[in-house]
Amino acid sequence: MKSVSTQLFDFLQANYGQVFASGEIQRMIFKNKNGTTSTPRSLVRRLEELCADGKIQVSYVGKHAHYSCGEKKKEHRFIPFITPDGRRAMREIVV
């Protein structure tokens, strides 16, 4: 199971270009590694950590924080090819 920070980052990357209010994210349900649901305050802490690491952006409108992801999720694709010695192999490319 992924950590809450990883789940939040993946969620924001999957919704690239959209901005989410802090309260909207706090109402979402994320499971911790031990299977319990995370509290709204712990979600805010994880969002602040992601901002401090430079992974996501925060903008403030009045007293309200709005979060978004600055980079689009990179897709990994595998392309089959034949090596010079005749074996089949897969090459990974990032799109």
Round to whole Å and give the CA distance between 74 and 86: 31
- pLDDT surpassing 80 at residue 76: no
Task: Find where tokens 């903008």 sit.
Answer: 59
Average pLDDT over residues 61-89: 83
Indicate the pTM of the whole model.
0.70
What would the pLDDT profile of 7-58 be if each residue is shown by its tens digit?
999 899 888 889 999 999 999 999 888 889 999 999 999 999 999 998 899 9
Domain tally for the chain?
A: 1
The pLDDT value given to residue 24:
93
Round to whole Å and give the CA distance between 5 and 28: 13
Q: Which domain holds residue 29?
A: 1-95
Number of Cβ within 10 Å of residue 16's Cβ equals 12
Round to whole Å and give the CA distance between 73 and 64: 26
Stated as kind and residue range, the H or E segment containing 22 is helix 22-26
Instruction: Identify the CATH number of the domain in which residue 55 sits.
Output: 1.10.10.10
